[in-house]
Structure 1
Amino acid sequence: MQGSANLTIMIKAARAAARKLIRDFAEVENLQVSVKGSSDFVTRAEAMSDEVIREMLQRERPNYGWQSKSNEVEGKDPTRRWIVDPLADSVNFAHGLPHWSLSIALEHKGEIVAGVIYDPAKDELFWAEKGAGAFMNERRLRVSGRGRMVDCLFAAGMPASKSAIPLSVRDIGRLMPGCAGVREWGSPALALCYVAAGRFDGYFERGIRPWHVAAGMVIVREAGGFVEPLGEQPILEGRTIVAANGDIFETFAKELRKS
């Protein structure tokens, strides 16, 4: 596996946290009889993952900034920061669904230049660096070549925010009659990885946060796909995203952007 020193550090941190999470995931089924017990257990697992990743990254790059759900710290180097989701999707994890991941992105001067997303349950490591291509384990990734909506399978994210739900339901209602299907599996990070791998032809979501999609953005782009906000604000500020292969992107995005 070829990559920069930063990429190597990111992969090591993701794998280290994943080893602990996969052990915790094996215990989730035993906790299903207690809703509160399962919830508390997952909260602790996520906090542990956050701690492991932060400790490893900050040890190797002490001057870089940090952003995750737990906190945000400006580094001595104001041009670089890690954007981390230590457990995405925690709801899937809590219910024993093997569809969750760890996500680490590196931002440089406002641009995501490297991303690592690891799915421990399936042992699929997605990674990319700007200008160097995107990969899943050792295989180079390429978005699908489907160009007709009727042939396309899309991923959608259903937001937690109540205010964004009506728009998302409207979007799905518009898409469903004219495509092969729409799936909502949780984990925006993996949805983007699946677009990069050609498993999905496109993905959209409203109400995302930077750590949900930062790493996946560079992975899709390096796999030949397009990633834009649904609105006028940048993705990491406006909290909306649309991604797809180049053949279907304009048609897909136009449908979602209808007023």
Structure 2
Amino acid sequence: MIDFIRELASAAGKLAAEGRRTLSEAEIHTKRSSADLVTAVDRRVEEFICAEIRRRHPGHGIFGEETGRSGDPAEYCWIIDPIDGTTSFVHGFPYYSVSIALQYRGRTVAGAVCAPELGELFHAEAGKGAFLNGGRLRVSATGELSRALLATGFGCVRARMRPDNFDYLPEITRRVQDIRRCGSAALDLCNVAAGRFDGYWEFALQPYDIAAGVLILEEAGGRVTDIGGGGDWPANGFIATNGTLHPALLGCFPEKRSQPRRSSR
């Protein structure tokens, strides 16, 4: 199964990159606001992925960002983000990705994230480790915020959520070495898995943003919780770290502390 997922993510990434080179203004649209973009390429890539899955696994369910849920309820369900980081994609910034995950009875068992402009293909199977272009991944050993490079995003600001990320960003920025904001949750998680980032937090994420990336991170030795340390993610915020740094980053959200709960994912 993982070979199929890797090949599918790679082919979808190639299709996305080809679409980017010929992208026209007429193919760029908005959803809920002018900052919430979707393109004809997003839809074309998702259609391609769904068609390949249905051809190989007609009895499986599918949950895609652009087409929603399809197929009969099934033990197996595919979670798809055809282009995670569409704004980057539209502007020609190479930090976008294709994310494909396979869940069995609600648990992610395999996934791949392809960054075609960067030439990177991440993948993982539950219990078998995480890999980048065939090389095994391992999270960093950073344990102090003062030495940490973190990533985040601002979807919650555009969604007008309160509290939003600006309520936490100034204090976190003062505590860490630096922060990056690149625009693809799937790739941010993969970069934590690769040890490039030490942690990542965000609000207003959806399952298709993170399904594959979470498995890749956990298989590389990382940890994921909500911002209270529990399992209600991404609904109650989302924190992903190398594990060692996790208690320190959780401490940046003191009013959100809760008793840890097992995630249903």
Give me the TM-score of the superposition, normalised by structure 1: 0.89
Other-structure match for 2:33: none
Aligned CA distance change for structure 1 residues 257 and 107 (closer, same or farther; 3 Å) = farther
Other-structure match for 2:14: 19
Q: Distance in 1 between matches of 2:104 and 2:68?
A: 16
User: After TM superposition, which residue ranges in structure 1, 4 or more long, deviate above 6 angstroms?
Assistant: none
Other-structure match for 1:3: none
SS in 1 for 2:221: coil
Other-structure match for 1:147: 143
Q: CA deviation at 1:183?
A: 1.2
Other-structure match for 2:225: 228
- Structure 2: tracts of 5 or more residues without a match: 30-36, 257-265
Q: CA deviation at 1:119?
A: 0.3
Q: CA deviation at 1:77?
A: 5.9
SS in 2 for 1:122: coil
Output the aligned Cα RMSD: 1.9
Aligned CA distance change for structure 1 residues 132 and 73 (closer, same or farther; 3 Å) = same
Q: Distance in 2 between matches of 1:78 and 1:256?
A: 37
Give me the TM-score of the superposition, normalised by structure 2: 0.87
Q: Distance in 1 between matches of 2:194 and 2:254?
A: 25
Q: Distance in 2 between matches of 1:26 and 1:71?
A: 24
Other-structure match for 2:26: 37
Aligned CA distance change for structure 1 residues 19 and 94 (closer, same or farther; 3 Å) = same
The match for 2:240 among 240, 243, 251 is 243
Q: Distance in 2 between matches of 1:257 and 1:201?
A: 20
Q: Distance in 1 between matches of 2:231 and 2:242?
A: 22
- Structure 1: tracts of 5 or more residues without a match: 1-5
Within 5 A, what are the aligned runs for 1:99-118? 99-118=95-114
Q: What's the CA shift string for 1:7-55, capped at 9, x where partnerless?
A: 1111122122222211122234xx5xxxx43625961111110011001
Identity %: 32
The match for 2:120 among 121, 124, 133 is 124
Q: Is residue 227–residue 241 contact of structure 1 (8 Å, CA) maintained in 2?
A: yes
Q: Is residue 10–residue 121 contact of structure 2 (8 Å, CA) maintained in 1?
A: no
Q: CA deviation at 1:233?
A: 5.9
Q: Is residue 27–residue 40 contact of structure 2 (8 Å, CA) maintained in 1?
A: no
Q: What's the CA shift string for 1:179-234, capped at 9, x where partnerless?
A: 11111110000000000000000001100011000100000000000011225563
